[in-house]
Structure 1
Amino acid sequence: MTHAIALTPPRSPLRVRAVRQLFRNAVTRLPLRVRMPDGEMLGDPSGPLMRVVRAEDFFSRVGADGLIGFGEAYMAGDWEADDLAGVLTVMATQLASLVPAPLQRLRGVWARRHPRSEEGTVENARRNVQRHYDLSNDLFAEFLDPSMTYSSALFHGEATWENLEEAQRAKIDRLLDETRVGPGSTVMEIGTGWGALAIRAAMRGATVRTITVSAEQRAFALERVAAAGLSDRVAVELCDYREAAGSYDAVVSVEMIEAVGERYWPVFFATLDRLLAPGGRVGLQAITMPHDRMVASRHTYTWIQKYIFPGGLLPSVTAIEQNLGPLRIAGRHEMGGDYAETLRLWRERYCSRRAEISRLGFDEFFHRMWIFYLAYSEAGFRSGYLNVRQFVLERGRS
């Protein structure tokens, strides 16, 4: 599988000089070391080391496409770092100050905007999902734990690969406990993943309907449900959340709201409310970002949207509160540090299984893209720029 970018980007000498100076100025304010190709060292000697390999290409990409170009420069090998997550954590911590204030005020002029083809309509949502979740079930099996759970775990001790599956089960159990799922409960899950939560809920005696727009995930989940002997309790359907019907004691959704898009947040929460039976509870696990940063960047096209999650936008807690409709937050639990550890384990596992993943047809550009994605995400949580929360929602309570 090839994710081609230009090996030699178009160059503008004036832009390269401007970006080079902006970069040097930014590094002086960061706890970061940068080694240039000629051996010159910039920045803080105690910080993690970033090595610029091809300076002209690096500055050309950043000058042409900002933070998208920064990620593409890593994919192309224009810069390296032994501690990639450490370098990106420094940058995430100082993200608001990396670009000078006058340029930030002109973001609407220089920043790329979301393509309309990736907005979260019913048709686009299916295509967006196919670009990520339908890559290959075998790919995800190489770096996820045996439960195939692709969201933040909840650790109660040291985070290790050996207890990742247990920590994923703890995350699921907490959400099911909070939504009171037990014998006789009816459950709607929006976003099946590979079936772990639906199976866990059915093992408690619940009847589950779980929906997804990923054909690959549905096929995998159906096999797992059948293997667990739970086909009479779990229905796995290809269905957009807007088309879901019925009334359920619990409605659960784990890290799916991030793919909805700001325009459709009111529709998403109206759907949760419509599906919830009287006295029922919603369990929502959501990645969040600070509200001011969300407002500043919500129209900006990012590297993660271009290469990993097309059409996505992380909400803030304020944005969630503003879109709840008749629902109210009855409980919340923060677990950002747990996500940083989850991502670290996934990244380390991916790197250790690189040869096996190559045999699935994924090339060097893909490896560098995926490792950058996992480290980039880990850095967001380690820096506190991102968080993840489990929300319990009820109707008509404050």
Structure 2
Amino acid sequence: MTISSCGTQPTTSAPIAGRWAHLAEVPRGVRAGAGRLVVDALFRRAVQRLPLRVELPDGTTFGGGVHDPTSPLMVLHDPDDFATRVGATGLIGFGESYMTGEWSAPDPAAVLTVLASDLGQLVPAPLQMLRSLVLPGQPARTRATRAGARSNAAHHYDLSNDFFALFLDETMTYSAALFDRLSPAPLWGDLAVAQRAKIDRLLDAAGVGAGTSVLEIGTGWGELAIRAAQRGATVRSVTLSAQQQRLACARVAEAGLTDRVSIELCDYREVDGRYDAVISVEMIEAVGYDYLPGYLTVLERDLAPGGRIALQVITMPHDRMQAGRATHTWVQKYIFPGGFLPSEEVLAQLISRHTELELVDRAAMGQHYAHTLRLWQDRFTAAADQVGALGFDEVFQRMWRLYLAYSEAGFRSGYLDTLQLILRHRDPAAELDAAVTR
């Protein structure tokens, strides 16, 4: 088996071995064969009605976009193994098939955007009902307990600060940016400006200014803490990533803000005190469904009377969230173990049921995330040699390109969204009275 490039032709590379040895085994047997036949039939039927071209090893093409040379192209280098993997483990198999070079695309995000736009129809409803019976379930080791959360965070964020610096902008911000325009498409030079604009919107909405106290849950590499401190705020930021803490502390020191910012290796459940603003940017996705009520009550507990909570959160449709909640996905297996994307509906339900918080502002920015991810992909692809020099092999690089493309497709198709949500105590006056009597 060989690994193919992002283009239409497979290329020769190192064999799949070491940490990737499990990928060399394609499921076999009667069940695998049956799954292959079902997936092949469903895939061909779906593609015929989609604006997509699929190329087979002999050069023939099929699909609804076959007569449109501008439609996205997906190349099946090994159709049988592709269908077998997908039949055995669903989206995990789909992703692993890309990692092994069984399929490729000149623009994977374009292909995945077409598929994501039709996700509800790709698998017939009767088969969707069997999802929890035939697909792998969530492994217990990735549950976001205190120990599990640390392990999950290390898996992703402790890869290497140098690695992330190769595709992030100078702010080292790893979340959706907020551009001043979406058309024409933003350029690389726009990204750092857009990241600061996103942060400033959150700080403004949370009322962060001179003399305010800020709790940040999920430090990243420190840009939000730095900008809050530059406004005159005192910031306590917590993270579970040792690598992020190390670089964030260095960046804070370089900015001359060590007297205003503390960055701790600490679980959000262990934070005490009350703060004028509690801010958390795209960290809730690591909390896990079972721990969402506790996370929300921690936010409420840590918020001072009259203060505000600013959340940036990735969401997905409620019905899809419910359908996939118990199953294990490719992103969870390889990229974000323990990750869970809530729906806006479930967040509203849990906030109402478990807290005395109310929503006072909401902004959607999913298409901004699509552009952010495209810029990251372009920079990551251009840095392939440097990524390799850091010790990340070709299989890892294909995995990471697919992750970025997969994410872009989710936002570009509208299947995913990113929201900035601003919360406060439902009755600030009553909360103040309660605080006085405690």
TM superposition score category, shorter chain reference: over 0.9
The letter of the residue matching 2:294 is: V
- Cα shift readout 1:168-202 (whole Å, capped 9, x = no counterpart): 00000000000010000000000000000000000
397 and 335 in structure 1: CA distance in 2 versus 1, 3 angstrom threshold: farther
Residue 332 of structure 1 aligns to a residue in which SS? Answer: strand
5 and 345 in structure 1: CA distance in 2 versus 1, 3 angstrom threshold: farther
Alignment of 1:262-341 (within 5 A): 262-324=289-351, 325-341=355-371
The letter of the residue matching 1:339 is: Y
Counterpart in the other structure of 1:70: 94
**1:119 corresponds to 2:151:** no
Alignment of 1:163-178 (within 5 A): 163-178=190-205
The answer to whether the Cα contact below 8 Å between 1:2 and 1:365 also exists between their aligned partners in 2 is no
Counterpart in the other structure of 1:194: 221
Superposed displacement of residue 330, structure 1: 0.5
- Cα shift readout 1:90-129 (whole Å, capped 9, x = no counterpart): 0101111111111111112112111111111011000000
Between the aligned partners of 1:25 and 1:138, the Cα distance in structure 2 is 44
The letter of the residue matching 2:23 is: A
Question: Alignment partner for residue 20 of structure 1, among 40, 43, 51?
Answer: 40
Between the aligned partners of 1:16 and 1:293, the Cα distance in structure 2 is 24
Between the aligned partners of 1:6 and 1:295, the Cα distance in structure 2 is 29
Between the aligned partners of 1:15 and 1:319, the Cα distance in structure 2 is 33
Between the aligned partners of 1:262 and 1:166, the Cα distance in structure 2 is 33
Superposed displacement of residue 66, structure 1: 1.0
Alignment of 1:334-353 (within 5 A): 334-353=364-383
Single out whichever of 110-119 and 361-370 deviates more from structure 2. Answer: 110-119
* Aligned residue-pair number: 398
Single out whichever of 55-64 and 109-118 deviates more from structure 2. Answer: 55-64
Superposed displacement of residue 40, structure 1: 2.7
Superposed displacement of residue 35, structure 1: 1.1
The answer to whether the Cα contact below 8 Å between 2:88 and 2:135 also exists between their aligned partners in 1 is no
* TM-score w.r.t. length of structure 1: 0.98
Superposed displacement of residue 21, structure 1: 1.5
Between the aligned partners of 2:425 and 2:61, the Cα distance in structure 1 is 58
Superposed displacement of residue 62, structure 1: 1.1
* TM-score w.r.t. length of structure 2: 0.89
Between the aligned partners of 1:211 and 1:4, the Cα distance in structure 2 is 36
The answer to whether the Cα contact below 8 Å between 1:15 and 1:63 also exists between their aligned partners in 2 is yes
Between the aligned partners of 1:16 and 1:235, the Cα distance in structure 2 is 54
Question: Alignment partner for residue 159 of structure 1, among 186, 206, 213?
Answer: 186
Between the aligned partners of 2:300 and 2:231, the Cα distance in structure 1 is 24
Residue 186 of structure 2 aligns to a residue in which SS? Answer: coil
Residue 287 of structure 1 aligns to a residue in which SS? Answer: strand
- Cα shift readout 1:28-57 (whole Å, capped 9, x = no counterpart): 232211111123321122331111001222
The answer to whether the Cα contact below 8 Å between 1:2 and 1:363 also exists between their aligned partners in 2 is no
Superposed displacement of residue 8, structure 1: 4.6
- Cα shift readout 1:146-168 (whole Å, capped 9, x = no counterpart): 11000000000251111100100
Single out whichever of 34-43 and 128-137 deviates more from structure 2. Answer: 34-43
**Which blocks of at least 5 consecutive residues in structure 2 are unaligned?**
1-17, 429-438
Between the aligned partners of 1:332 and 1:317, the Cα distance in structure 2 is 11
Counterpart in the other structure of 1:228: 255
Could you tell me the percent identity over the aligned residues?
A: 57
The answer to whether the Cα contact below 8 Å between 1:2 and 1:366 also exists between their aligned partners in 2 is no
10 and 300 in structure 1: CA distance in 2 versus 1, 3 angstrom threshold: closer
Question: Alignment partner for residue 258 of structure 1, among 276, 285, 292?
Answer: 285
Residue 58 of structure 1 aligns to a residue in which SS? Answer: helix
139 and 120 in structure 1: CA distance in 2 versus 1, 3 angstrom threshold: same
35 and 213 in structure 1: CA distance in 2 versus 1, 3 angstrom threshold: same
Counterpart in the other structure of 1:183: 210
Counterpart in the other structure of 2:396: 366
Counterpart in the other structure of 2:26: 9
- Cα shift readout 1:191-250 (whole Å, capped 9, x = no counterpart): 000000000000000000000011111111111111110000000001100000111000
Superposed displacement of residue 11, structure 1: 2.8
Between the aligned partners of 1:33 and 1:386, the Cα distance in structure 2 is 24
Counterpart in the other structure of 1:50: 74
**Which blocks of at least 5 consecutive residues in structure 1 are unaligned?**
none
The answer to whether the Cα contact below 8 Å between 1:329 and 1:397 also exists between their aligned partners in 2 is no
Counterpart in the other structure of 1:90: 114
- Cα shift readout 1:69-89 (whole Å, capped 9, x = no counterpart): 011000000011101111000
Counterpart in the other structure of 1:211: 238
Q: Superposition RMSD on alpha carbons, in Å?
A: 1.3
Superposed displacement of residue 302, structure 1: 0.5
- Cα shift readout 1:285-333 (whole Å, capped 9, x = no counterpart): 0000111111111111111100100001101111111111111110000
Question: Alignment partner for residue 241 of structure 1, among 262, 268, 293?
Answer: 268
Larger relative contact order, structure 1 or 2 (CA cutoff 8 Å, min sep 6): 1
The answer to whether the Cα contact below 8 Å between 1:5 and 1:72 also exists between their aligned partners in 2 is no
Counterpart in the other structure of 2:49: 29
Between the aligned partners of 2:404 and 2:23, the Cα distance in structure 1 is 23
